[in-house]
Every structure is written in C-alpha cells, then in structure tokens.
Structure 1
Amino acid sequence: MTDPDPHAPTPPWTAPAAPPFGAPAGAQHAPGALRPSAAAYAPPTGFTVAPTAVHGGGPTREPAPSRSRRGLGLAALMLALVALVGASVVGALAAYEAGVGAARRIAADPSSIDFDWTVLTPVRDQVLTAEVSFWIGTVLGVWALVQGIIAMVKDRGRGWGVAAVVVAALGPVAFFLAVQGALSAGLVAGASGAL
C-alpha cells in the first residue's frame, strides 16, 4: 500500500449524488410512493411504516390484539375483590368467634375492672386467623392497586383498572368495619349466653 502524497493538492469538495434529506424541492413522486431517503430505511421487526404527507412517514407500532387489552385491568379488579370480600368475611367470622369466647371468659371472672389480655387466651386461634386474613388482604390489595394503576397508564383495561384502584382503596375500611361489627356482635352474644 502506498501512502498518499501529503504535498499533493486535495480535490475540491463536491456534493453527493443523492441528497441526504429527501428529494430536491422540484422533484415529484407518485402519491403513496416512498421517497428516496425513506426507501433506504428498513423498519425493525414489529413496526410498520405508515404513509403520511410529511417525509414519507415514520415507524409506528402495530396495535396489540384487542382481546388481551383489557386483561390487566380485569385481573386487577378480580384481585381487589378477592382482597376486599375474602379478607373481610374471614376476618369477621374469626372476630365473631373471638368475641364470643372472650365474653364468656370475662363473664366467668368478673372480679377485675381492668382489661386483662388473658381473656384472649382461649380464642388465640381466632385472633390469629383474623390477623392473617388482614395481612393476606393487604398484600392482595396492594398488588391490585399497583396492577390497576399500571392498567390505567398503559391503557390495558383502563375502566377495570380504575374500578380495581377504588375497590382496593376501600378494602381496609370494609375490613375494619366488618371486623368491628362482628367483634361487637360476638361480645354481646357471648355475654348474653353466659348469663
């Protein structure tokens, strides 16, 4: 290989044969035909070139099938309903049984005027069941909340996602109301049965 002579004059600059930014202003193209600069572009797999009036179009993503577009929001709503209804029902049933057992224990030993936590000893299984239902409902509710927000942002079942967020947000309120009501009813039933 020979090195070019550093003292040789450089040739003058000339414009390239094809303009880099499309056809010259006076050139006419058939409607819908790709311009020379766009004809050299090959879109990546999964993209199509949509024809437009400006610069021959750009890459656009094909829409996902409509059947699976609502699945994320619908799944979030189902999770939120399981968290709301399941945790509330299981927690309320356990709280009722705990109230009945605690009231019987209080009625059997009325000598103390201060609350003694040992009244919950015979019903510790029911208390644990109520607590576990609370934590499982919390995990499912947070999962449904996050998945509902993602469904709203990505427009994959936006209406279902909004409903999931609302139901998941109301879950703790429904749980505590159900448990408080069942516990009160259990205390009344246990106290009246012990008399």
Structure 2
Amino acid sequence: MTTPDAPQNPPAAPGGWAPPGAPPFGTPSGAAPASSGAYAPPAGYAAPQGFGMPAAPAAPSRPPAPSRHGSGLGLTALVLALVATLGATVGGAIAGFNIGLGAGKGLAYLPMDGSWDWSILTPVRDWVLLGEVSFWFGTVLGVWALVQGIVATVSRRGRGLGIAAIVVAAIGPIVFGGVVQGVLMSGLAAGTGIGG
C-alpha cells in the first residue's frame, strides 16, 4: 500500500525520455554532445576517489627460472671445503704427533713453576712450521669455500652443493682442532714414555 503523498511515478526529464547512457537532464551547458551517444562527464568533473575500474589482478609469482650456468660454482665450493678440512687436518695431525714425540722429553723435565722455555721446540721446529702452514692453508681455503658456497646457494648455481660446502667449511676448524689436539697428546705420551 502506498501513501497518498508519494507520487506513483518519478517526474520525466525535461525534453522527454532519455536513454540510460545519456545525461538525465540533457547536455550540460558549455559541453558538446558526445558523437557516439555515450555519456561524457561535464568539463572539469573528476570522479571521487575510490571509484572507477578495478585494478587488474597481479600476475601470479613464479619461482625463479633455473640457472643456465649449472652447478659448477657449488661443486667447486664443496671441493675446496673438503680439501681445506682434510688437507689441514692430515697435515696438522702429522705435525702434532711429531711435535709431541720430539718435545715430549723436554716437557717432562720442564719445572712446574709455570715458566715456559721455547727452546723445547727447537728440535721440532720443522714440524711446528708444518703445523702452522697446515693451519693457515685450511683457514684460507675454508674461508674461500665458505664464501663461494654462500654465493652458489644465493645465486642457485649448485644450491645443494653450496649448502654442503658451507656445512663442511663451518665444521672444518672443529675437526682440525680436535684431531690435532688428540694426536699431539698421543705424541707427548709416546715422547715422554708415560704410556709404557
């Protein structure tokens, strides 16, 4: 049921019926009628913010394409890490045992007052030099392998091999220190005659 005050039909636009695409009250003053029959906003009119065509959806992201360079960078990093760890450990172990063997007697006769006599290492100075060279050889190659492994991992040029190189280069100093200390103690025990 309708109220008596409300009009039944809205009033017609002046000038007759207008198609849905045309302005409701004719052409605005000063504006030329659109030649295609489509509605054109009046001059100086700007649409309110937030209105308009929705933005096109963003293209789905794709994983980066595999590198064409192959896995040579990661493989090189892994080989460097293995050479650094094994080479330094073997060289340090040989040097450590011979240092302990040659300096064992001098250490056994060293007074317990806390003083240290560097002349104890004189007979084994060549082995001490080999131990130092092994340490620095492993350090330089290990750092190189670590950096190259990180680059290979980030640039996806042998990512798995690069991660393996990072792990081997990181545990290399631990392996070196543990093995050299154990072998040095064995050499000292054999050099002093404590073991039997």
The normalised TM-score by structure 1 is 0.62
Equivalent residue for 2:43?
Answer: none
The structure with more helix, counted as a fraction of residues? 1
Q: Find the structure with the greater CA-based Rg.
A: 2
| Partners of 2:76 and 2:168 in 1: CA distance | 13
Please report how far the alpha carbon of residue 192 of structure 1 lies from its aligned counterpart in structure 2 after TM superposition: 1.1
Task: Provide Cα deviations, 1:146-166, integer angstroms capped at 9, x if missing partner.
Answer: 100000011000000000000
| Partners of 2:134 and 2:152 in 1: CA distance | 26
Residue 169 and residue 63 in structure 1: after superposition, are their counterparts in 2 closer, same or farther (change >3 A)? closer
Equivalent residue for 1:179?
Answer: 180
Task: Provide Cα deviations, 1:111-154, integer angstroms capped at 9, x if missing partner.
Answer: 63343222111111101110111001100000000100000011
Is residue 152 of structure 2 the alignment partner of residue 151 of structure 1?
Answer: yes
1:152 alignment partner AA: T
| Partners of 2:195 and 2:105 in 1: CA distance | 6
| Partners of 2:181 and 2:80 in 1: CA distance | 23
Task: Provide Cα deviations, 1:17-52, integer angstroms capped at 9, x if missing partner.
Answer: xxxxxxxxxxxxxxxxxxxxxxxxxxxxxxxxxxxx
Equivalent residue for 1:94?
Answer: 95
Equivalent residue for 1:75?
Answer: 76
2:172 alignment partner AA: G
| Partners of 1:193 and 1:132 in 2: CA distance | 29
| Partners of 1:194 and 1:119 in 2: CA distance | 20
1:86 match: secondary structure: helix
Identity over aligned residues, as a percent?
Answer: 57
Residue 172 and residue 111 in structure 1: after superposition, are their counterparts in 2 closer, same or farther (change >3 A)? closer
| Partners of 2:163 and 2:89 in 1: CA distance | 21
Please report how far the alpha carbon of residue 104 of structure 1 lies from its aligned counterpart in structure 2 after TM superposition: 2.5
| Partners of 2:160 and 2:78 in 1: CA distance | 10
| Partners of 2:194 and 2:170 in 1: CA distance | 37
Equivalent residue for 1:131?
Answer: 132
| Partners of 1:112 and 1:139 in 2: CA distance | 38
Please report how far the alpha carbon of residue 84 of structure 1 lies from its aligned counterpart in structure 2 after TM superposition: 0.4
CA contact (8 A) 2:98 2:124 kept: yes
| Partners of 1:164 and 1:111 in 2: CA distance | 43
1:160 alignment partner AA: L
| Partners of 2:67 and 2:192 in 1: CA distance | 61
- Structure 1: segments with no counterpart, 5+ residues: 1-61
CA contact (8 A) 1:73 1:156 kept: yes
Aligned length: 132
Please provide the CA RMSD for this pair: 2.4
- Structure 2: segments with no counterpart, 5+ residues: 1-64
Equivalent residue for 1:112?
Answer: 111
CA contact (8 A) 2:77 2:146 kept: yes
2:111 alignment partner AA: S
